Amino acid sequence: MGRLDIYSSAFWLVFSIYIAFESYCLDLGNWHIPGPGYFSFGAALLLGVMSLSVLVKTLLKPSKEKPSPLLRNSCAGRISSLSLSVCFSMFFFLIGLALLYVLFYF
Amino acid sequence: MESLHNLVMGLGTALHPVNLFYCFIGVFIGTLIGVLPGIGPVGAISLLLPVTFHVPPISAFIMFAGIMYGAQYGGSTTSILVNIPGEASSVITCMDGYAMARKGRAGPALGMAAFASFIAGTGTLFALVLIAPPLAEFGLRFGPPEYFSLMVCGLTIVVYLARGSIAKALMMMSLGLILAAVGLDPISSHPRFTYGVLALRDGLGLAQVVIGLFGVSEVLITVERSFSRVVFETKIKGLLPTLQDWKDSIFPVLRASILGFFMGIIPGISVVIPTFVSYSLEKKLSKFPEKFGTGVIEGVAAPEAANNAAASGTMVPLLSLGIPAGASSAIVLGALMIYGLNPGPLLIKESPQVFWGVIGSMYIGNVMLLLLNLPLIGIWVKVLRIPYGILFSLIILFCLIGSYTINNSLTDMYIMIIFGVMGYLMKKFDYEATPLILALVLGPMMENALHRSMIISRGSFLIFFQRPISAIFFGMALLILLSSFFSKKKLGEDILKMEE
């Protein structure tokens, strides 16, 4: 995975720091009576330690494998057409909802 | 004797016309989603979750159980006829099943897959009846520290058995625990990570997250992979296996049933790993191991029996201790809590009709599946011919509607889409979703158990090591984690290699 691991673990590291900070702001409480941020702080700490370990491991031992592309060229069209169809179906779904709302409202 | 009496009561509950109807719907949908690639039992259960809010809990539970074991039956059809497994648990069936079909023996392969599934599905129910009630009785001794350490142990096993790196699985588990904290704090009712969004006050909906992570992302990944389907045009004849087929298969089926059931009980093993282990075991025990992969009936019978037995096995920790063994049982656990039931050791005592009714329905469901699968194989083949373009658009549309109908809220739909994209990226970056889902379901229970344990012990973590049952679970969790650092090879890696 090499390069992809660096990007993803860096992202999770930043995310864990943010969650740890937010949890700290929520109040960690004490050992006797844990506060609202206690549990998420612990989870963020574990996420941070693990992402840091993956990041360091990948940086120290770069993979010899050729990194696979995130999106295969041949399928980019299919993915984008599906995404387009999802957008269309969402659009029609919302139109249908609006119509139903109007029908029931009047 | 009491179990027998309760089982008769359960059969009576399951034979109630409404429950019979939901059992049929469950096994039918289960088979259908097993046949169709792109959506699995996890996605199907989460899609149907909002529909069941107005249904009696027992009927909904019967339907979900039907989907769980029905999908194992259906998955073999695509493996044998198209060489594309409908479910991950049918990957290994492709090897000999498709080879048999190419030799013109698609009928006996499909027939044996159905019979092996039936034998394993019904046989292991006896084991479930024998094991689950005493285990639940034992579970009654558990207090908050024992529950917390049991959940930690369960999550550790799931992480250990993850196919990729353990660090990444631990990261996903942590993310699941963080996501579980979204919403109001159970003790102080203080909003956490809600950012003023009203829909987030009750926490992230399990169904929306699962539909996105498993439904949408699976469709996107399947669309990306290009594969051609060659469905056999000729009429499939002779579904009943010959006497020689039975002689070759009966012992592999029995061995795989026992193996699959006991492996299914262990959290994280799910239904996939037992199929690979049973296939390897039969290959080792066979007088002609070189013939495996060329179309031998044991290569179809053993994995199909193993995946159905494992599906029954996953019910043991779920029904007796309230601990899910995999992603699909995690959603069923979440559903039980939404229905106001108390999953865990008290389920048998407080709602015996639910516990025994589900077990009774599994007998009936297995008979239904046998009757449904053999004559309807022609229909399943026709279903396979639906163009993927139409199929995937429909799945996406159902995902959108399903997530919207949970609370009639567009926010739920957006959450589902966000998790769909996240699930797709997770697959691309090699992160597994199962530890995340399990942590998301167990998170609130773990937090509650931790809070109560800390209050009991007045803030001392030693409570987890002073109580014997809790100490055993924690010891096991530590041992598993430490062993993963010392051993270079993991079971998950072996399975991944075999799958490739």
Q: Model ipTM?
A: 0.76
Distance in angstroms (rounded) separating the CA atoms of residues B276 and B283: 11
Chain A residues closer than 8 Å to B181 by CB = 39-40, 43
Distance in angstroms (rounded) separating the CA atoms of residues B255 and B246: 14
Chain A residues closer than 8 Å to B223 by CB = 75, 78-79, 82
CA distance B196 to chain A (A): 14
- Contact of A35 with A25, CB cutoff 8 Å: no
Residue of B nearest to A89 (CA): B397
- Contact of B76 with B110, CB cutoff 8 Å: yes
- Angle (CA) B9 B12 B17, round 5°: 155
Partner-chain contact A34 B225, CB within 8 Å: no
pLDDT of residue A19: 93
Partner-chain contact B393 A82, CB within 8 Å: yes
Q: Best mutation site among A40, A47, A61 for testing chain B: the one with the most B CBs within 10 Å?
A: A40
Residue of A nearest to B195 (CA): A22
pLDDT of residue B176: 92
Instruction: Assess A16–B contact: CB distance below 8 Å, yes or no.
Output: yes
pLDDT of residue B82: 72
Distance in angstroms (rounded) separating the CA atoms of residues B322 and B347: 9
A 20-59 residues inside an 8 A Cβ radius of B: 22, 26-27, 30-37, 39-40, 42-44, 46-47, 50-51, 53-54, 57
A5-31 pLDDT, tens per residue? Answer: 888 999 999 999 999 999 998 888 877
pLDDT of residue A16: 94
| Alpha carbon distances (Å) from A46 to A51, B378, B461 | 8, 51, 17
Q: What is the mean pLDDT of residues B198-209?
A: 82
pLDDT of residue B167: 87
pLDDT of residue B174: 93
Instruction: Indicate the pLDDT class of residue B357, thresholds 50, 70 and 90.
Output: confident
CA distance A90 to chain B (A): 8
Q: Which residue has the tokens 């631990």?
A: B170
DSSP type of residue A64:
-
Q: Which residue has the tokens 């056999």?
A: B232
- Contact of A1 with B426, CB cutoff 8 Å: no
Distance in angstroms (rounded) separating the CA atoms of residues B243 and B121: 22
pLDDT of residue B179: 93
pLDDT of residue A46: 92
Q: What is the mean pLDDT of residues B258-275?
A: 79
Chain B residues closer than 8 Å to A17 by CB = none
Residue with the bigger pLDDT between B310 and A85: it is: B310
Partner-chain contact A82 B413, CB within 8 Å: no
Q: Where are the alpha helices (DSSP H) in A1-106?
A: 3-26, 38-60, 73-105
CA distance B455 to chain A (A): 6
Chain B residues closer than 8 Å to A35 by CB = 188
Residue with the bigger pLDDT between B375 and B148: it is: B148
Partner-chain contact A5 B429, CB within 8 Å: yes
CA distance A62 to chain B (A): 16
Q: What is the mean pLDDT of residues B172-194?
A: 88
pLDDT of residue B187: 78
pLDDT of residue B227: 56
Residue of B nearest to A46 (CA): B174
Distance of CA B432 to the CA centre of its chain: 15
B239-256 pLDDT, tens per residue? Answer: 788 888 888 888 999 999
Instruction: Assess A85–B contact: CB distance below 8 Å, yes or no.
Output: yes
Tokens of B180: 């579980």
Chain A residues closer than 8 Å to B431 by CB = 8
Residue with the bigger pLDDT between B424 and B74: it is: B424
Nearest to residue B424, comparing CAs of B209, B162, B121, B217? B217
Sequence-ordered list of residues with C-beta below 8 angstroms from that of B213, at least 6 positions apart, any chain: B419, B420, B422, B423, B426, B433, B436, B437
Mean pLDDT of the residues in chain B: 81
Distance in angstroms (rounded) separating the CA atoms of residues B7 and B10: 5
Tokens of B258: 């026992």
Distance in angstroms (rounded) separating the CA atoms of residues B23 and B13: 12
Distance in angstroms (rounded) separating the CA atoms of residues B295 and B80: 10
Is the predicted pLDDT of residue B1 greater than 80, yes or no? no
Q: Best mutation site among A39, A71, A82, A97 for testing chain B: the one with the most B CBs within 10 Å?
A: A39
Residue of B nearest to A4 (CA): B429
For A74, half-sphere exposure in the C-beta direction (CA atoms, 13 angstrom radius) is: 5
Within 10 angstroms of residue A53's Cβ, the number of other Cβ atoms is 15
Tell me the residue type at B241: P
pLDDT of residue A12: 93
Partner-chain contact B454 A32, CB within 8 Å: yes
- Contact of B124 with B261, CB cutoff 8 Å: yes
Tokens of A99: 């119509």
The model's pTM is 0.76
B132-175 pLDDT, tens per residue? Answer: 888 877 877 788 888 888 888 888 887 877 767 888 889 999 99
Lowest-pLDDT range of B196-200, B414-418, B447-451: B196-200
Partner-chain contact B413 A22, CB within 8 Å: no
Lowest-pLDDT range of B18-22, B73-77, B310-314: B73-77
CA distance A64 to chain B (A): 17
Distance of CA A70 to the CA centre of its chain: 16
Q: Which residues of B touch A (CB under 8 A)?
A: 165, 167-168, 170-171, 173-175, 177-178, 181, 185, 187-188, 190, 192-193, 219-220, 223-226, 392-393, 396-397, 400-401, 404, 413, 428-431, 443, 446-447, 450-451, 454-455, 458-460
